[in-house]
Amino acid sequence: MDHARAMDIEISNIMAEAINEADGTYNILVGNDMVSTKTIIIATGVPYKATLPREDFFLGKGLGYCATCDGPIYRAKDVLIIGHGEEAEHEANFMAEICSKVYYLPMYKEIGDLDQRIEIVNAQPRVIMGEDFVEGLELNNGQNIKVEGLFVLGAETSPERLVPGLEIADRHIRVNRNQETNLPGVYAAGDCTGPPYQIAKSVGEGQVAGLNASKYSSSGPTQRAPKGKSTY
């Protein structure tokens, strides 16, 4: 951020409400203003809003959003996974291989292929237990489950809702090695392009996307988006 400010880059903390493409130019509605641009870099990460009391506080203190990333920390320990979609089942199965006990709380209806060692909990999460670190989860049915690790998985918003027409693969934005999406002038980088959800990967992709978006922006005549691939 200090580097960005030093380069006099304008930073606007306003939600982009709508994106429309016309003749190769993207018009982004931000608040009451319209920003026109030739290129866009989508770097939304894995969007998720905290829904449990003190969830932000416990992040990194027993609570995480990527079981395959932090799983080894909880080897031979008890963990609970809150799954918001079928994609969380793969990570739950991974944890079942290394943890002493895995509880799985599905926030969706039809459960797919879960490891038989996983205990399914049919309830709603209420409060995270613990003072300085996660000690368990209190459920709306009055049950308290004591664990040392808590993961909230698969709560991200589908990327195609942000830019309809964007090509999606396995719930992530499909990009090539230049971080180009299927829409001319639109790039994506970081967690929104898929795992591994690591800082080093996101930073590297961000650099590649930035360099290529800059080249595209300074290129010749504006390229038009493919027919039928308008964005909103």
Q: 167, 181 in Cβ contact below 8 A?
A: yes
**97 and 75 share one domain:** yes
**88 and 145 share one domain:** yes
Per the structure, the count of domains in the chain is: 2
- Listing DSSP states for 57-82 in one string gives HHBTTTEES-HHHHGGGGTTSEEEEE
Please list, in sequence order, all residues whose beta carbon lies within 8 angstroms of the beta carbon of residue 82, skipping any fewer than 6 positions away.
88, 105, 107, 125, 150, 151, 152, 153
Which of 153, 168, 186 terminates a domain? The answer is 153
Residue 121, domain CATH: 3.50.50.60
Q: 63, 151 in Cβ contact below 8 A?
A: yes
**131 and 162 share one domain:** no
pLDDT along the chain (232 residues), means of 10: 90 77 86 87 78 88 87 95 88 95 93 94 95 96 96 69 79 93 96 91 97 90 41 30
- Cα→Cα distances 30→16, 21, 34, 68, 96, Å: 5, 15, 6, 36, 44
Backbone angles phi, psi at 18, to 5 degrees: -160, 145
Q: Is residue 69 part of a domain?
A: yes
Q: Is residue 36 part of a domain?
A: yes
Pairwise CA distance, residues 206 & 29, whole Å: 23
**17 and 91 share one domain:** no
Q: Is residue 229 part of a domain?
A: no
Domain that holds residue 110: 55-153
Q: Is residue 224 part of a domain?
A: no
Which of 153, 177, 195 terminates a domain? The answer is 153
- Cα→Cα distances 225→1, 14, 112, 143, 148, Å: 32, 26, 38, 53, 49
Which of 122, 153, 184 terminates a domain? The answer is 153
Q: What is the pLDDT of residue 225?
A: 39
Reduced to 3 states (helix: H, G, I; strand: E, B; else coil), residue 204 is helix
- Whether pTM exceeds 0.85: no
Q: Is residue 139 part of a domain?
A: yes
